[in-house]
Structure formats: structure tokens, C-alpha cells
Amino acid sequence: MNDAVEHDLECTGLSKHFGSVRAVDDVSFRIPKGSFFSILGPSGCGKTTLMRMIAGFENPSDGDIHIKGRSVLNIPPNKRNVKMVFQHLALFPMMNVFENIAYGLRCAGTPKSEIPQKVNDVLERIALPDVGNREIHQLSGGQKQRIAIARCMVLDPDVLLLDEPLGALDLKLREAMKIELKLLQHQFNTTFIYITHDQSEALVMSDNVAVMNEGRFEQVGKPEELYHKPATSFVAGFVGDSNRWAGKVEEISDGVAKVATEAGLSMLCKPQAGVVTGAPVSIFVRPEFIGAQRASEAGPPDANSNALAGKVDSVLFNGANSRILVRGPSAELIEADVVVTGGTSDLRPGDAVQLNWAPEQAMCYAR
Amino acid sequence: MQGDVKRLSLILLFAPFALWIVLLIILPHLGMVYLSLREKVAPRVYEFGFGNYIDFIQEPIYWNTLLRTGSMSILVTVLALLIGFPIAYYIAKIAGRRSRGALFLLCLIPLWVSDLIRAFGWILLLRETGVISTSLQTMGLISEPVEFLYNDATVIVGLVYTVILFMIVPLVSTLDGMDDAMVEAGYNLGGSGPTVLRRIIIPYAMPGIVAGCIVVFMLTAGSYLTPILLGGKNSSWFTEQIYDQFITRFNWESGAAFGFLLLAFTSLVVWAGLRLTGQNLANTVAKN
Amino acid sequence: MKQKNYIVGLAVTAALSTASVAQAETLRLLTWGSYAPEELIQKFEEEYPDIDVEVTFSNNEEMIAKLRATGGAGFDLAQPSHDRIYAAQLEYDIYKPLDLSKIDTSVMESTHLEGVKANTTIDGEVYAVPHQWGTSGLMKNKAMAADFNGWDDLCDSQYAGKTSMRLKRTILLGTAFAMGHDPFAAYSDLDKYQDILDEVSEKLIACKSNIKAYWQGGDDLSAMMLSGEIVASETWDSTAYKLYAQNPDIVFVPPETGALAWIDTFALPAKGKADDAAYKWINFVLRPENVTIMSGSTGAIAAVNGGLDLLPEDKKNAVNAAFTPADIANLKFFANIPPGVEDMEGKALEKIKAATGG
């Protein structure tokens, strides 16, 4: 089992049932040493239950959890070397910063003389060297965040669990903390397991992301894999923005499927596993792969590509990420990324446009 | 102008409270101080002096009773805390939303009947020919009737029963505000059950504990019926002596002095208690 | 305007309604529990429709305390015992003299009337007339304590743990008589009375281990006696009579040294506002047919001519079972309490209560 030691955490066939509800259903995964792993899913998908099982607050109905190669099923939460940053941080308000960090050390029986040194070290590593004597309510949101992490890291855990700790912060701080968390993880070189429903948090920070839905892992992979090669329609829809059509496969030839949408359009797309002729499918196309041209400037539609005529409904300016909403032939709104330069050539609401995208950028999944 | 209106409305808002404090609390107490400083020298003849207080100091029966009342009240407070804390924790943290109301109501039930009825309830249960003694005999656990009434233990049980609600309510309200994650964090960071209790839960609940203890201690030291009715031949209670001074001995002057001494004594105990536990009223009771 | 004048009058308009009430007059009785049976109140209000009767139940000490607090206001008729009027009036001035011409004194038993008048006359003015009398003494369960017949038998070790008493002045006086003293005679020499009290306290402290519990009121005494938890006790006669009706083995025992007799009286509080109604009530309850109702409720004997015969049947039987004419002749009427005695007695009682006798 030399191999297992290379993994800080390994779950096999892990399940948790609450009555007839399968909160976590036969989940298996392993997390390599020192990596940043995110579990991404909508609320109620079972990610919190999964994390509570790892921390020891819930007992699995089935399956096993190994930390550093050892099963922890019979180890109570306070004996597991898995620390957790709670959603609302759960800093102890009746203790100051120093005591909050020293709490775990005292519990672990660290000699009294070593505690101040260790606390100061960790405070320095999170770049808050002088806050030891402050009360919790005197800290800013970002500082609290870092103290909560320091409180765990001072104990040198095998795995650090983070339960949507950025949820309570305002947007700007959240963006800054994303980067900071990633840096902290590098610095401590500890395995982080990050629970979130916010895909941008997961994609930005993680080495690997598991997308979870209804108690199961839909896909585990690197962020770019999830984005560009979603394994299921849920992943395709949940990760990143997409335009979406429902339809039925008319024929498949040369790895390209011809689909008639419910609105009566005909589209070419790349069929994923399990798509057969006559099957109902969902088609996902990311806005950045849709090109928009003025109708007047566009050439005739290419039979081997997709083209739709429409009218610009509105322009969503957001700097480099600007986007237009186009009213398509069946009255649905289609999003397409555009460059807005501020010049006269920019598209404006009411302009007639033609949208084009390649069949290989249109992913279709069996429904 | 605006400022004047504001000040006026502030004064008007404050007026009922001020009137209440002045008319119902401060004035009667001033009257009591005045009364307690009068010495009776002959019928309808009084002199100013500290005689009533000196009498108290010189008579061991009085201060022994006061100390006895104080120490038993402290014992009742401690017991109420030890019993009330788990109950409050259960209500606030473990019980479901629906059963919580029912449990709270259960704790309230003793307050629906008067002190007197409650005491008679205990008497019915505990007397020599009462429910407990008889059922123990029927079960064959004891061969002769046992008298559970008329001793200090009964007084303490009766008092704890009466006051425990006043311990539970503030505890529930503070514990209710505690995020469950706080306790889990306590475990997660390596704390054992007792450590979490000692370092997380109790410090967090401290405002409630202090508020509950003060209320319970004051109520107990000032209670009258329960210790009188359940107490035995030797169970004197200080309020009984105040009553005796006022009513049976027509000695209002010394009764007033005793009343003051009880107030001073209980305040002193509360102060000492706060001192010993390193708390102060501002960050406990006021916060609560 | 340099400074605004705030004349924020915390105007407490003390609406002391001095306006006389035009409608029904109210008679506010301050009396003992059971001394104002509902039946009599209804009958009285039917006879005098313009008078409402309001009753406050109390006891000797509280009556004095209540009237003292208000200087004799708040009630129109009080019923303290005959020995608790003289000193209270001297010290606190809470009663007003009676107009005897408004009371039908001819129906009253003359020895009681004269006794009460003698006890309550100050500066030639009479402050009280008798209403009901009764005794404090002992009771026993004949089946279990046949030989029990004196105050000191409460401390007899053959009844260890089976007797009770109320820790009030009655037991001090009874014990003093049992020890061969005459406490009432010693009222005139308080030093001597203190000596008696010291001796009595010592005896009662030694007796503590023999007592099961000090009773507080009629209810707990009755419960202990009926359940057999105690076999004998110091008691009010009325309590004993009530128990006799439930268990004929329980009888009132006039102690060998004489039962202590009290007379509850009528007295007018100094600031009473319905004197006429009060006189009407006095004369009303003294009528023979009403006396029976009253005695049925109180268990005490009316201080009227033939009061014993006017008792309801069961009470009459209980009295006859308890008293021989010799016992009646041997009654010790409570003497007026001189100022200071209550304090001395209070101290003695505290000493007994605080002593750790067992």
C-alpha cells in the first residue's frame, strides 16, 4: 500500500443515507498529497455531508475513509488530523486571537513554553504578525478568514477542509481571498479540500475539482477539463456559461450529429457518449465560441457549420468580457461574447446579426 | 427647535421608568433606612441611632441565620446551575424545533401555581404517610414509614424546583445564540468533550450563567414560604426573622434594619461571586 | 431667546378621590378566616341592600401591623383578641372608642362583656366588646395517647417524634403554667417574666427532639393528626373540634393547668369610614339564629347568653366531650400584653427555633 501514502485522503464507496434520502451516494475519490481539491455543487447536493463525514461529525452509512493510508472510521473528530474552516469561521469570540490559535495546541498537549513561538510563527506566515492580542470583533473580514486558517494550520493537519469560507465576504474581498487562499495552500503545502457552490472559486483555485450532484460525483478533473470536456450535461450546464437547446438527433455521420431542436431549428453538434439517432439530447454552446457578424457583412451560411440570424436585443458591457444578447429565430435569447471597442463598428441593440459556431464547439448529451 | 423636541421626547420616554425607580424603589428604601435608624426607647418615643444594627451584631442567632440562609442559597444556586445547564443545553441545542416549545412550557408549569400550592404538593409527596414513603413501603424497599419532610435537604429540593426556571431561561437564550459550528470547531481542533465544555461552551454561556445565578440566588435568599413550610424544627430562614420582627414583634425598626442587612448581604455575595469568577455586570448581564 | 425654558412638569396629578361615594356603602371587615361565612354575608346584604361587605382574612399580629401601617385606615371593623388591644392602642393609636349605645350589649354574656371592657378601657373609653371565645390547649388521639393530659406531656418521651406544637406565644405560656408559674401575674414584673421565659425556653429546647415538627397552620396540623403521624399536639380548640367530627378518637384536651382562653372582639379602626354599617354587622351577628351559623363556621363559642347551646350539634358534642364544668371554671384568660412583652417572647421563640436540639 505504498501507493496509498501518496494520497492524503482516499474515500471508497462512501454513502450517507438520512432515512430514504441518499445525501451522499457511493462516492469514491483520492486526493494527491499537497493538492488543492474542490468539491463543487449546487446547495443540497451532499457536499457538506461528505465533508462532515471526513471531519468525523457524521458516520458514513457505508464505505470507508482513509487519511494517510489509515482508516479513520472509528476515530472521533477530535482525534482526526483533519482540520476544518467553518462557513462562518466559528472563531471563539470569548478568546483573543492568540488564544484562538493556541486552543488547538493546548488540546494537543504542546508544552506551554513552545506555544507562543508556534502561534507567532503561524501569525507571521499569514502576514498578521501583530494581532495576537486583538479580540476577534476587532478584526476585518479578511483577517478573520486568515486567523481561522492559521488556527487550523498551526496544528499541521493532514488535510484542511474549507466549507465555503468566502461566502460571507463582499465581492472584492472574495476575489482577493481566492488568490490568497491559493498562495497559502502553496506556502503550507497541505492538502486543501474546498467546498463551494461558486464555480469561479473552484476553477480559479483548484488543482482538481469534483462536480457533485444529488449525492454523486458527476466528474472529477482539472478545471480546464471540466470546462472544455464536461462528461455530463449537468457538468456542461453547471460549469461555465452556456447557451442551451433541447432537441432530437436526426442522424449521426462522421462524428457530427444533426439535431432538430424543439423550436424547429436544425443544428450540427458533437455527440458525446450515449447519443444515438432518435435520442433526445441537450446541446450546450459556450458564448465565447459563438461569433457574431453584422448580417450585412456576413457571407452565406456554411453547410458544415451552424448559423443563425437574429437581432441584437441588448449589449452587456463588461470590459473584456462584454457580451450581446441576440433574439434568435425562435425568439429565444442567445448569448455571444463580443469585443466592444467603443468605436463605431460596435454592435448596438436592434442591429441584425448572424451567429456562427463550429459543430465541434456544440456539445450534445443524451437527456 | 428640532433638538428641543428630541430632548423633550427623550425625557417623556424616560419619565415612566424614572418614576417607577423613584417612587417604587428608591423612596421605599429611603423610608426603610430612616426606619431602621430609629431606636425605640418607649411607646411612641424614638431616638436616632444604630441600635437596631448593633442588636443584630450582638445576637449570634441573627447573623447565624443570615449566614445559614446565605450558604443554603448558594448551594441552591449551584444545584440549580448543575441541573439547569444540561436541561438548557438540551432545549437550546439538541431538542427539535417543535419539542423545544413544549419543553419550555414544561419548565414553566411550576410557575402556574402559587408558592403555597407548590409547597403543599411537596408536602403531600414527602410526608411520612405521603406518596413516596407509602410507595416505597409497598415496593418493600423500606419496612417502616420514612419522613422526608421537615429537614434542610427538603428545603433545598423545594427551592431548586421553584427557582430552576429562572436559571434555565437565561441559559437557553445565551446557548441559543451559540453557533453549533463553535462546538464542532472545538472538537475539530482537538478538544475532548470536557475541554469543549470548559473552554468553549461555558465561557460562551457565561453571561447567561451569571444572570441566572444572580436571579436564582436573590430569589432564594428572599424566599419565604418554601423554607417555612418544608423546613424542620431547626430550619430558620432570614426572611422568617424579618417577618417576625415586623409582624409578631411589632418591631418595624429592627425589621427594617434586617431587611437592609439582607439586601447588603446578598449584594455582597453577588459582588464576591462576580469577583471570584472574573466577571462583571457590564459584560455579562448587560450583554445578555 | 437665549435659553429655552423647559418646564417639563412630571405632573403627577395625585387624584386622591375624596369625593364621597354616592352609591352603596362598603363595610370593610378585617377578621379571622372563617369569621365571615358567605352565608351570613349574603343574609346581611339582603337585609341591608345598600351595604357591601368586603372581607380581609388575617390574624392578631397582621391585623395590628396592617392598621399600624395606615394609622387605622383601610378597614371599618376589626376583630383582634381581647389581650391584643390595650398595648396596640396605647402604642400605635389605631382604634377609636365604641359607642356602646349602638350595640345591643344585653345579649352578651356578662362575664365576657365585663372582662373585655375591663381589658380594653383606656381613659374611660371602651375600645372593644366580645364576639366569640375559645381556647388554646391540647388535643390527643385517645386510641394512641390515652394518658396525655398536660402541656408537659408534649415533651414526654413515650410520645417521642409523635407530638407537635406551634412555635408561638401560646406554647410559652402553657409551658410556664405547666412548670408551676403564673406568667400573666408576672406581666407586671418583666424581670421576673424574663426569668420564667428563660426557664421555659430551656425546657422547650430540651423538648425539641421529642417534637416531630412545628405546625404552621390548621391545615398541616390536621393532616399530621388525621394521618396518625402525630398522636398529640398543642392546638386551637376549633381545629380539634373539626377533627373530632372526622375521627371521634381525636379530642380536645383542656390541660390540667387550665386551657388558655381568648375572646375575639369587635373594635373600630381609628380611621374607619362606615361606623354605622359596622354597628349593624355587630348587632346582626349577635342574633341567635346568626350565632349558630357563625359558630358553625368558626368552631368557637359565641360570647352571648347561652352561647354553648347555640353551637351546632356536632360542635356542641365536641365541646361536651372535651370540657367538664370544672375545666370551664379553670380557664385561664389571656391577660393584656404590656408593651415589650412581644419582643421578649419573640426573642425566646427565636432562641428555641435556632437551638439545635435535634
Return the residue of A nearest to B284 by Cα: A94
In a domain, C302, yes or no: yes
Are residue C114 and residue C95 in the same domain, yes or no? yes
Do A107 and B191 count as a contact with CB atoms less than 8 A apart?
A: yes
Do B234 and C357 count as a contact with CB atoms less than 8 A apart?
A: yes
B-chain CB neighbours of A84 within 8 Å are: 184-185, 188
CA A151, CA A102: separation in Å to the nearest integer?
A: 8
Are residue C194 and residue C341 in the same domain, yes or no? yes
Asked if residue C357 has pLDDT above 60, the reply is: no
With cut-offs at 50, 70 and 90, classify the pLDDT of residue A200. Answer: confident
B-chain CB neighbours of A100 within 8 Å are: none
In a domain, B28, yes or no: no
Q: C339 at the B interface (CB within 8 A)? A: yes
In a domain, C325, yes or no: no
CA C109, CA C132: separation in Å to the nearest integer?
A: 10
Which of C4, C216, C351 lies nearest to residue B228, judging by beta carbons? Answer: C216
With cut-offs at 50, 70 and 90, classify the pLDDT of residue C9. Answer: very low
Number of domains in chain C: 2
Do B233 and C214 count as a contact with CB atoms less than 8 A apart?
A: yes
Q: Nearest 5°: CA angle at A266, between A240 and A298?
A: 80
C-chain CB neighbours of B229 within 8 Å are: 216, 220
Lowest-confidence segment of A329-338, B192-201, C125-134 by average pLDDT: A329-338
In a domain, B157, yes or no: yes
Return the residue of A nearest to B192 by Cα: A78
**pLDDT one-digit tens code per residue, A93-137:** 999 999 999 999 999 999 999 999 999 999 998 888 889 999 999
Q: Are strands A352-357 and A266-271 parallel, antiparallel or unpaired?
A: unpaired
Q: Which residue has the cell 431538542?
A: B95
Are residue C94 and residue C164 in the same domain, yes or no? no
Do A103 and B191 count as a contact with CB atoms less than 8 A apart?
A: yes
A-chain CB neighbours of B179 within 8 Å are: 88, 90
Instruction: Give the HSE-up count for residue B153: Cα atoms under 13 Å, Cβ half-sphere.
Output: 4
Do A88 and B179 count as a contact with CB atoms less than 8 A apart?
A: yes
Which of A77, A94, A107 lies nearest to residue B195, judging by beta carbons? Answer: A107
Nearest to A78 by CA among A109, A104, A115: A104
A-chain CB neighbours of B187 within 8 Å are: 56-57, 76-78
Do B43 and C91 count as a contact with CB atoms less than 8 A apart?
A: yes
DSSP state of A89: B
A-chain CB neighbours of B186 within 8 Å are: 92, 103
Asked if residue B285 has pLDDT above 80, the reply is: no
Asked if residue C25 has pLDDT above 60, the reply is: yes
User: Nearest CA to CA, how far is B236 from chain C (Å)?
Assistant: 7
Number of domains in chain B: 1
> Average per-residue pLDDT in chain C?
88
pLDDT on residue B284: 57
In the 3-class helix/strand/coil scheme, how is chain C assigned residue by residue? CCCCCCCCCCCCCCCCCCCCCCCCEEEEEEEECCCCCHHHHHHHHHHCCCEEEEEEEECHHHHHHHHHHHCCCCCCEECCEHHHCHHHHHHHCCEECCCHHHCCHHHECHHHHHHHHHHCEECCEECCEEEEEEEEEEEEECCCCCCCCCHHHHHCHHHCCCEEECCCHHHHHHHHHHCCCCHHHHCCCHHHHHHHHHHHHHHHHHHHHHEEEECCCHHHHHHHHHCCCCCEEEEEHHHHHHHHHHCCCEEEECCCCCCEEEEEEEEEECCCCCHHHHHHHHHHHCCHHHHHHHHHHHCCEECECCCCCCCCHHHHHHHHHHCCHHHHHCCEECCCCCCCHHHHHHHHHHHHHHCCCC
With cut-offs at 50, 70 and 90, classify the pLDDT of residue C20. Answer: very low
> Average per-residue pLDDT in chain B?
88
CA B93, CA B103: separation in Å to the nearest integer?
A: 12
B-chain CB neighbours of C208 within 8 Å are: 233-234
**pLDDT one-digit tens code per residue, C166-175:** 999 999 999 9
Mutant choice from C166, C169, C219, C220 vs B, greatest count of B C-beta within 10 A: C220
pLDDT on residue A165: 87
Asked whether C345 and C172 are in contact (CB, 8 A), the reply is yes
Asked whether B226 and B159 are in contact (CB, 8 A), the reply is yes
In a domain, C47, yes or no: yes
More confident residue, C143 or B44: C143
Lowest-confidence segment of A21-30, A208-217, C6-15, C51-60 by average pLDDT: C6-15
Mutant choice from B13, B131, B233 vs C, greatest count of C C-beta within 10 A: B233
Return the residue of B nearest to C215 by Cα: B229
Which of C8, C90, C219 lies nearest to residue B8, judging by beta carbons? Answer: C8
pLDDT on residue C15: 33
C-chain CB neighbours of B252 within 8 Å are: 68
Do C61 and B248 count as a contact with CB atoms less than 8 A apart?
A: yes
Identify the chains in contact with C, defined as 3+ C-beta pairs within 8 A. Answer: B
CA A284, CA A221: separation in Å to the nearest integer?
A: 19
Distance of CA C203 to the CA centre of its chain: 25
Which of B184, B199, B206 lies nearest to residue A103, judging by beta carbons? Answer: B199
In a domain, B136, yes or no: yes
Are residue C156 and residue C213 in the same domain, yes or no? yes
Return the residue of B nearest to A78 by Cα: B190
Cell numbers at B5, concatenated? 423636541
Identify the chains in contact with A, defined as 3+ C-beta pairs within 8 A. Answer: B
Q: Are strands C129-141 and C301-302 parallel, antiparallel or unpaired?
A: antiparallel
Instruction: Give the HSE-up count for residue A148: Cα atoms under 13 Å, Cβ half-sphere.
Output: 30
Do A83 and B203 count as a contact with CB atoms less than 8 A apart?
A: no
Return the residue of A nearest to B203 by Cα: A94
Q: Give the structural domain span for C182.
A: 134-261+332-354
- CATH no. for residue B80? 1.10.3720.10
Are residue C209 and residue C62 in the same domain, yes or no? no
Give the phi and the psi of residue C316 in degrees, each rounded to 5: -60, -45
pLDDT on residue B283: 60
With cut-offs at 50, 70 and 90, classify the pLDDT of residue A180. Answer: confident
Count CB-CB contacts under 10 A for residue B182.
Answer: 20
DSSP state of A57: S
Residue B220: C-alpha distances to residues B86, B160, C2, C3, C135 (Å): 21, 9, 55, 52, 37
Return the residue of C nearest to B41 by Cα: C340
Q: C358 at the B interface (CB within 8 A)? A: yes
Mutant choice from B179, B188, B199 vs A, greatest count of A C-beta within 10 A: B188
Q: Are strands C232-236 and C129-141 parallel, antiparallel or unpaired?
A: antiparallel
pLDDT (mean) for C98-113: 92
Do B191 and A77 count as a contact with CB atoms less than 8 A apart?
A: no
SS3 A223: helix
Asked if residue C24 has pLDDT above 80, the reply is: no
In a domain, B120, yes or no: yes
- CATH no. for residue C168? 3.40.190.10
In a domain, C318, yes or no: no
Are residue C192 and residue C341 in the same domain, yes or no? yes
In a domain, C327, yes or no: no
More confident residue, A21 or B110: A21
In a domain, B46, yes or no: no
In a domain, C313, yes or no: no
In a domain, B264, yes or no: yes
**Could you tell me what percent of chain C has a pLDDT over 70?**
93
Do A92 and B200 count as a contact with CB atoms less than 8 A apart?
A: yes
pLDDT on residue B130: 87
In a domain, C320, yes or no: no
Are residue C205 and residue C340 in the same domain, yes or no? yes
Q: Give the structural domain span for B101.
A: 59-276
Q: Is C3 exposed, middle or buried (0-12, 13-18, 19+ CB in 10 A)?
A: exposed
Do C353 and B229 count as a contact with CB atoms less than 8 A apart?
A: no
pLDDT on residue A319: 83
In the 3-class helix/strand/coil scheme, how is chain B assigned residue by residue? CHHHHHHHHHHHHHHHHHHHHHHHHHHHHHHHHHHHCEEEEECCEEEECCHHHHHHHHCHHHHHHHHHHHHHHHHHHHHHHHHHHHHHHHHHHHCCHHHHHHHHHHHHHHHHCCHHHHHHHHHHHHCCCCHHHHHHHHCCCCCCCCCCCCCHHHHHHHHHHHHHHHHHHHHHHHHHCCCHHHHHHHHHCCCCHHHHHHHHHHHHHHHHHHHHHHHHHHHHHCCCHHHHHHCCCCCCCHHHHHHHHHHHCCCHHHHHHHHHHHHHHHHHHHHHHHHHCCCCCCCCCCCC
C-chain CB neighbours of B150 within 8 Å are: 212-213
CA C301, CA C309: separation in Å to the nearest integer?
A: 9
CA B162, CA A284: separation in Å to the nearest integer?
A: 69
SS3 A131: coil
More confident residue, A37 or C22: A37
Q: Do chains A and C touch (3 or more CB pairs under 8 A)?
A: no
Sign of CA dihedral B275, B280, B284, B285: positive
pLDDT (mean) for B90-105: 87
CA dihedral A312, A316, A317, A320 (to 10 degrees): -90
pLDDT (mean) for A181-189: 89
Instruction: Give the HSE-up count for residue B249: Cα atoms under 13 Å, Cβ half-sphere.
Output: 23
Are residue C150 and residue C94 in the same domain, yes or no? no
Q: B245 at the C interface (CB within 8 A)? A: yes
Lowest-confidence segment of B83-87, B235-239, C182-186 by average pLDDT: B235-239
Which of A56, A87, A151 lies nearest to residue B189, judging by beta carbons? Answer: A151
Are residue C214 and residue C80 in the same domain, yes or no? no
Asked if residue A168 has pLDDT above 80, the reply is: no
C-chain CB neighbours of B237 within 8 Å are: none
Do C358 and B233 count as a contact with CB atoms less than 8 A apart?
A: yes
Nearest to C208 by CA among C355, C348, C350, C344: C355
- Looking at chain A, list the stretches that DSSP marks H as alpha helix, in order from N- to C-terminal side: 2-5, 47-55, 97-107, 115-125, 141-153, 171-188, 199-205, 223-228, 233-238
User: Nearest CA to CA, how far is C337 from chain B (Å)?
Assistant: 12
Asked whether C333 and C259 are in contact (CB, 8 A), the reply is no
pLDDT on residue C21: 40
Q: A109 at the B interface (CB within 8 A)? A: no
Are residue C188 and residue C288 in the same domain, yes or no? no
Provide ipTM, 2 decimals. Answer: 0.81
CA dihedral B212, B214, B216, B221 (to 10 degrees): 180
Q: B131 at the C interface (CB within 8 A)? A: no
CA B188, CA A171: separation in Å to the nearest integer?
A: 29
CA B147, CA C212: separation in Å to the nearest integer?
A: 10
Are residue C177 and residue C242 in the same domain, yes or no? yes
Are residue C221 and residue C347 in the same domain, yes or no? yes
pLDDT on residue A167: 80
Lowest-confidence segment of A156-170, B43-57, B154-168, C243-257 by average pLDDT: B43-57
With cut-offs at 50, 70 and 90, classify the pLDDT of residue A294. Answer: confident
CA B288, CA B280: separation in Å to the nearest integer?
A: 12
**Could you tell me what percent of chain A has a pLDDT over 70?**
99
**pLDDT one-digit tens code per residue, A72-98:** 999 999 999 999 999 899 999 999 999
Asked if residue C274 has pLDDT above 90, the reply is: yes
DSSP state of A318: B
Q: A103 at the B interface (CB within 8 A)? A: yes
Q: B65 at the C interface (CB within 8 A)? A: yes
Mutant choice from B250, B251, B254 vs C, greatest count of C C-beta within 10 A: B250
Do B188 and A83 count as a contact with CB atoms less than 8 A apart?
A: yes
With cut-offs at 50, 70 and 90, classify the pLDDT of residue C3. Answer: very low
More confident residue, A275 or A212: A212
Q: Are strands A362-366 and A306-316 parallel, antiparallel or unpaired?
A: unpaired
In a domain, C340, yes or no: yes
CB pairs under 8 A between B and C: 88
